[in-house]
Structure 1
Amino acid sequence: MRFPFHKMHGCGNDFLILDYLGGEAPKFYPSEVAYLCDRHYGLGADGLVVLKESSTAHAGWYFYNSDGSPAAMCGNAARCAIRYLIDKHYPEEIPVSLETEVGIIKGRRIDMGNEVEITLFPTAIRSFEYDQKLVTAGENSFDIYSLNT
């Protein structure tokens, strides 16, 4: 498979960006994403951003972690995607919006420089359940808490 790509980084994470605005955005198999993101055999990245058309924002996306698993949101990847959209498609738009699985993110360039800030949406705090266990090792006891995220 051949396709043009861009590579961007934000706060120490780097991402492959595939631009399918104006076309049909493919979904990738986890093994394909893992291969592309592999730093020895692929292009190397912490994640893959596939930009696609959106009816509610300037663009939508599919986001994948480097192991190929899909994710609803990644803040650094969203900043890179917004920066890409500003640079390539919407230089005059303020703010630029990105539709994610968890809501619409808006972003803008700061002082016409290289930095981008995004505005996230309020989150709802839900109740959660956790397990607590007492583990003893020698003369020491430890409370261990686990939470399914």
Structure 2
Amino acid sequence: MQINFYKYQGAGNDFILIDNRRNVVKCIDKQAVAKICDRRFGIGGDGLMLLENEPGFDFKMVYYNADGNEGSMCGNGGRCIVAFAKHLGIINDVTKFLATDGVHHAKISEAGNWVSLQMIDVADINNDGEAYVLNTGSPHYVKLTADLESKDVYNEGYAIRNNDTYKQDGINVNFVEKNGDGYFVRTFERGVENETYACGTGVTAVALAMAKHDHQTGTITTPIKVLGGDLNIRFDYDGETFSNIFLEGPAELVFEGEIAI
């Protein structure tokens, strides 16, 4: 069966999107998703998303990791599917949609290439040695480091993601370095099992963890540089709970086409 797809990217985090409001894709197996996401034998992407109907919402986001498994929340994917919904004429400038971690609100610019996505509230940040561990829709490990540009993120991230603590469920590993008023972040993502150019839930986790690390409270804005560009996180922190968390950045259509599923 031939099906239309759209390729989007948000700060270098790239995704394959399919309009499934008519339930054209009734079932897609792990091997099919992995092949579609393969950069040599498929379209190539960090994940695949289905946009589906959901009563009470503008749409539902169904997300698959590049390894073919259905994934947890993807922040940059969430921003890209908002841009996709605008492209399809489902929404104008604001939306409410459902993802695996719950309800999300978002706003998109008139030009359609800048998306501000509200993330879930976060109350718990734990420590693993000097690192921080928290869930921003997906689980994250956040570690301050030096000389990040030259760090072997793949091997160091792989080792942490597959250690005795995290091997069974997996975790995304973020290495962080101070960068002016913000931070430079590189991320090893579970599900992709490699470094990606950006990770939305990851940079969100970094911003929250660094606010706790620096004992900041109030309304905070944190610019973050990733390999694929620049993102922004803004939130409120009262010393106990992080709320009104927004992940902001670009979301752009790369190309569209057809593929056999």
**Class of the TM-score when normalised by the shorter of the 2 chains:** 0.7 to 0.9
Q: Structure 1 stretches (4+) deviating beyond 2 angstroms?
A: 22-27, 89-92, 110-113, 144-149
User: What one-letter code is carried by the residue in structure 2 that aligns with 1:12?
Assistant: G
Distance change in 2, residues 1:110/1:34 (3 Å): same
Say if 2:49 and 2:64, in contact at 8 Å, map to a contact too. Answer: yes
The two structures have a TM-score, normalised by structure 1, of 0.78
Give 1:59 deviation, angstroms. 0.5
Give 1:114 deviation, angstroms. 1.5
Structure in which a larger fraction of residues adopt strand: 2
Q: Which has the higher contact order (CA 8 A, sep 6+)?
A: 2
1: CA distance between counterparts of 2:91 and 2:77?
19
Partner of 1:108: 107
Give 1:80 deviation, angstroms. 0.3
Say yes or no: does 1:45 pair with 2:49.
Answer: no
Partner of 1:137: none
User: What one-letter code is carried by the residue in structure 2 that aligns with 1:107?
Assistant: A
RMSD over aligned Cα atoms: 2.5
Q: Deviations over 1:73-114 (max 9, x none)?
A: 10010000001111212343x421220111111111135452
Distance change in 2, residues 1:74/1:123 (3 Å): same
2: CA distance between counterparts of 1:103 and 1:124?
16
Distance change in 2, residues 1:89/1:25 (3 Å): farther
Partner of 1:120: 119
1: CA distance between counterparts of 2:112 and 2:126?
41
The two structures have a TM-score, normalised by structure 2, of 0.47
Distance change in 2, residues 1:27/1:98 (3 Å): farther
1: CA distance between counterparts of 2:20 and 2:61?
9
Give 1:52 deviation, angstroms. 0.8
Distance change in 2, residues 1:84/1:24 (3 Å): same
Unaligned runs of 5+ in 2: 130-159, 172-261
1:44 counterpart SS class: coil
2: CA distance between counterparts of 1:30 and 1:41?
15
Percent identity for Structure 1 against Structure 2: 27
1: CA distance between counterparts of 2:19 and 2:2?
13
Give 1:121 deviation, angstroms. 2.1
Say if 2:34 and 2:67, in contact at 8 Å, map to a contact too. Answer: yes
